[in-house]
């Protein structure tokens, strides 16, 4: 599947950066400071901190005041795909039958 062409004026850089922050967490970086997130994303420390604080306010990350980590809420983004995709709905009854 090819990406549709997107006019530059329709691009939301903040969304791109917020998603980059979320994607920077992994098994080796499950908890990070804003400085670490900034280094991994190429953002400034201040920008990374602001994105992390916004994501914390929205419930996608949590913090102890120094370190940030993902919350289960990020799974809702992936789950939205499964709820809207036709293939998983078609396959689900067969998978349940196989499981039985």
Q: How far apart are CA 85 and CA 93, in angstroms?
A: 15
Confidence of residue 70 (pLDDT cuts 50, 70, 90): very high
Q: Quick check: 44 pLDDT over 90?
A: yes
Q: Quick check: 98 pLDDT over 80?
A: yes
CB atoms within 10 A of CB 19: 13
Token digits for 2? 């090819």
Q: How far apart are CA 50 and CA 53, in angstroms?
A: 5
- Give the chain's end-to-end CA distance (angstroms, integer): 35
The residue extents of the domains of the chain are: 13-99
User: Residue 38: which H helix or E strand, with range?
Assistant: helix 34-41
Q: Kindly report the CATH number that applies to the domain delimited by 13-99.
A: 1.10.10.10
The per-residue pLDDT for range 22-31, each reduced to its tens digit, is: 999 999 999 9
Q: Quick check: 87 pLDDT over 90?
A: no
pLDDT, mean of residues 45-62: 98
Confidence of residue 3 (pLDDT cuts 50, 70, 90): confident
């Amino acid at each position: 599947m090819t990406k549709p062409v997107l006019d530059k004026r329709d691009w939301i850089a903040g969304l791109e950066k917020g998603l980059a922050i979320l994607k920077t967490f992994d098994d080796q970086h499950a908890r990070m400071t804003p400085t670490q997130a900034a280094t991994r994303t190429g953002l400034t420390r201040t920008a990374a901190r602001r994105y992390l604080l916004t994501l914390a306010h929205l419930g996608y990350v949590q913090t102890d005041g120094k370190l940030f980590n993902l919350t289960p809420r990020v799974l809702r983004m992936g789950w939205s795909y499964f709820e809207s995709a036709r293939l998983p709905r078609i396959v689900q009854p067969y998978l349940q039958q196989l499981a039985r």
